[in-house]
Amino acid sequence: LQSLVEIVHQIAVEPISTDVALLSHLLAFIAHLLQKGALQPTVDMISELIEKVLSADVTAEMRIAETDRCIVELMRNVSDLNELAILRRAERVPQ
């Protein structure tokens, strides 16, 4: 399961990948697995996904509805995430 998530993460964060829905679903999947204790993703992986989702040139409506909740859940469960950087990036999200 860990390897599967790592492979999907590598595909999702490629420079040519702009599918915010895919990134959002991956964040939701990781948050769920983390909550169940089935996965221990790296802080770098989670940070990179959050950064990519929040920096995408799309409106908030184009992300899946669960994205913001998943980001908050990940911030709560992954202690080494740079919460200040995530919150600053979230403030700059196009509306």
| Model confidence pLDDT, tens digit, residues 35-85 | 898 888 789 989 988 988 888 766 555 566 778 888 999 999 898 999 999
Domain boundaries, the chain: 2-91
Residue-level pLDDT at 6: 82
Residue-level pLDDT at 22: 81
Got the DSSP string for 4-53?
HHHHHHHHHTSTT---HHHHHHHHHHHHHHHHHTS----HHHHHHHHHHH
Among 53, 28, 54, residue whose Cα is nearest residue 41 = 28
pLDDT higher than threshold 60 for residue 94: no
Residue-level pLDDT at 16: 67
Residue-level pLDDT at 58: 60
Handedness of CA 57, 95, 44, 35 (dihedral sign): negative
Predicted TM-score of the model (pTM): 0.77
